[in-house]
């Protein structure tokens, strides 16, 4: 009976943030809402995306994740990305 070796999998975590200096309407809205809740000392709120991708482990994962970001996940004009972690599952 051939042993069905379980392929090891990873979770690649990418953070995509709006570049400094670029207006963040969603962040502004949340800031105002928090102030309306009484949190008047809040100075700034920035909202970005956390993208978690599950796939089989393998070589070249950082380069792969970089391609995802540059071709799809992050708009280079107004966003910057960070490959935060690559963790085995």
> With contacts defined by CB under 8 A, how many residues of the chain interact with a copy of itself?
31
Distances (CA, A) of 5 to 1, 2, 10, 57, 59: 12, 9, 16, 13, 18
State the nearest-atom distance from the C-beta of 63 to a copy of itself, in Å: 12
Candidates 19, 28, 53, 66; binder of a copy of itself (CB under 8 A) is 53
Q: State yes or no: residue 39 binds a copy of itself (CB under 8 A).
A: yes
Residues 65, 69, 73, 74, CA torsion sign: positive
CB of 75 to a copy of itself, least distance (A): 13
The CB density around residue 2, as the number of other CB atoms within 10 Å, is: 4
The binding site for a copy of itself (CB under 8 A) comprises 9, 15, 17, 30, 33-34, 37, 39, 41-56, 58, 64, 67-68, 71-73
């Amino acid at each position: 009976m051939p042993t069905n070796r379980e392929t090891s999998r990873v979770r690649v975590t990418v953070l995509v943030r709006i570049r400094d200096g670029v207006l963040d309407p969603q962040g502004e809205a949340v800031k105002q809402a928090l102030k309306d809740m009484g949190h008047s000392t809040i100075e700034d709120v920035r909202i970005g995306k956390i993208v978690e991708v599950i796939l089989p482990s393998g070589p070249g994962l950082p380069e792969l994740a970089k391609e995802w970001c540059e071709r799809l996940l992050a708009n280079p004009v107004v966003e910057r990305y960070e490959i935060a972690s690559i963790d085995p599952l």
